[in-house]
Amino acid sequence: MPVDKIKPIHVSGFRGQILLGIFLFSYILFVIAGTVYAENESQFKYDAAGKRNPFIPLITPDGRLLNLDTVVTETGLVLEGVIFDQQGESFALINGKVFKVGDSVDDYTVLDIDKGRVNLLKAGQLYVLETKKGE
């Protein structure tokens, strides 16, 4: 149909007022609902500290089941174990790799290794990794 043949629809009288009222009511309801939803959404903050990342598979490529009892910190590093030596030759197993005092883990430096705990330093900020309780 050619554009010049399209005629606008004119609704007048009581029927037109009803349709206009329904349209305006729907529009206002949509705007108010959208605003309320946006305000509630901005107030929600998910705290993922200490929770498992749902996007990491529970089974490794070689078929092993991952240990779900690890403590995940804000650093993203997991202290899996500590070999503590009172003479200072302690080692820490972090994210599957072995580290000693002075080593770098990502952007962190291992400051101290204690029983069940490792102190890390990054940009002047101290971070503490701990094994899960009871280990």
- Which positions ≥6 away from 128 have C-beta within 8 Å? 117, 118, 119, 120
Residues 106 and 130 in one domain: yes
Identify whether 51 is part of a domain. no
Residues 39 and 61 in one domain: no
CA dist 53 and 6 (Å) reads 57
Judging by DSSP bridges, how do beta strands 108-114 and 104-105 pair with one another? antiparallel
Residues 60 and 35 in one domain: no
Residues 70 and 111 in one domain: yes
Phi-psi region of 124 (alpha: psi -120 to 50; beta: other; left: phi over 0): left
Q: What is the CATH number of the domain that holds 118?
A: 2.30.30.830
∠53-55-60 over CA atoms, to 5°?
A: 95
Q: Does 95 or 1 have the greater pLDDT score?
A: 95
Residues 23 and 71 in one domain: no
Residues 35 and 76 in one domain: no
Domain span including residue 36: 3-43
Regarding pTM above 0.85, the answer is: no
Residues 64 and 119 in one domain: yes
Identify whether 49 is part of a domain. no
Highest mean pLDDT among 11-20, 59-68, 110-119, 123-132: 110-119
Residues 50-88 have pLDDT tens digits of: 566 677 777 778 887 766 555 556 677 888 889 988 888
Identify whether 104 is part of a domain. yes
Identify whether 50 is part of a domain. no
Residue 135: the pLDDT is: 47
Residues 63 and 110 in one domain: yes
